[in-house]
Structure 1
Amino acid sequence: MAKTFDALPETLIETLKKEVIVSLITVNSDHNPEVSAVSWVLPSNDGKKVGIAVGHKGSSMANIQKNPNVTLGFFADESYYSIQGSASVSEIIEKTMKYRVITVDVKEVEDVIFYGGKVTQQPTYEKTYEAELAEKLDSEVHELLVEYLK
């Protein structure tokens, strides 16, 4: 039987505090699912919210404004997890670049790996733009997400 929670357990909070790839699934205007890969993600300390920083022009924002139901998917603890929630979108925030923050109120967290499956290697990625800029943006976004999760 799949493990379900009404908030993120501590191990999943710690995973999401690292740079991991998270799938953000929204519903578009044609009522079809639309997926985006995001990495600027931060959970609240109590595991009841997840903040996501994105560029200000993405289609996910329009989708959420029309239908706030979202799903987040990510690898953790040798498995794959789904977060079901209701999302809201901030106004445009101008810093080094223009951002918006998506705040997801967690409704349910579920281990959704197929029966008998075990993830043996966490996906990794590298940033292909200037290292100094990447560090600046990461720091700026982290501070922004901390502020939104208060």
Structure 2
Amino acid sequence: MANQVEHSLFPDLYDCFQSERFVTLSTVDFETGGPNVSAISWIYAKDETSLLFAVDQKSRIIQNIGQNPLTVVNVIANGSTYSISGKSSVLLPRLEGVPLKVSLIKLAIDEVRDVMFYGSKISVEPVYEKTYDKSAAERLDRQVLEAMKRA
């Protein structure tokens, strides 16, 4: 897909967002006007034209998109790196069915770009592990994903 611009998620990329996934999220900082990058994992493709993600209600991300909705999600998947850009808005200030106070944000996708440099591919995708109680982490992740799917 190198050098192509899509306006929605293609099937393989959509499938990547059907379970928890490590991504970086870039917003415009409300104080400095510069870039602000965060790592998140609670992200879900509701359909081919939108991504839903959950963040703590006190996250700087919420203040940033309140001032400027332009957002980019960077994901490593399918042997490449993709930049998914669009405008974000708070869909639900409080995501129900989750013990933590998290907000649900919707990214309306404008562009999907393969941004991997020429002549290369990703051979191993990022792997991470939760450093707190594994069963509690799995339960929370399941609660958040189920709540996002219901939204």
In 2, distance between residues paired with 1:20 and 1:135? 13
- Determine if the alignment matches structure 1 residue 62 to structure 2 residue 63: yes
2:116 paired with 1:113: yes
Aligned counterpart, 1:91 = 93
Query: For residue 33 of structure 1, what is the aligned residue in structure 2?
Result: 35
**Root-mean-square deviation over aligned CA pairs:** 1.3
- Deviation track 1:96-146 (CA, whole Å, cap 9, x = no partner) reads 111111110011101001111211111100011112211221111112211
Superposition TM-score, scaled by structure 2 size: 0.92
Q: Distance in 2 between matches of 1:18 and 1:43?
A: 9
Instruction: Give every structure 1 segment of 4 or more consecutive aligned residues whose post-TM-superposition deviation is greater than 2 Å.
Output: 92-95
Q: Following the alignment from structure 1 to structure 2, what is the Cα–Cα distance between the partners of residues 136 and 14?
A: 22
Q: Is there any run of 5+ residues in structure 1 with no aligned partner, and where?
A: none
**Matched-pair contact (CA < 8 Å) for 1:41–1:52:** yes
Q: Which amino acid aligns with 1:112?
A: V
Runs of 5+ unmatched residues, structure 2: none
The count of residues paired between Structure 1 and Structure 2 equals 147
Using the size of structure 1 for normalisation, the TM-score is 0.92
Task: Give the conservation status (yes or no) of the 8 Å contact 1:54–1:100.
Answer: yes
Q: Which one-letter code corresponds to 1:32 in the other structure?
A: G
For 2:143 and 2:120, locate their aligned partners in 1 and report how far apart those are by CA, in whole Å: 37
Identical pairs, percent: 35
Q: Within 5 Å, which residues of 2 pair with 1:2-41?
A: 2-29=3-30, 30-41=32-43
The aligned counterpart of 1:80 is 81
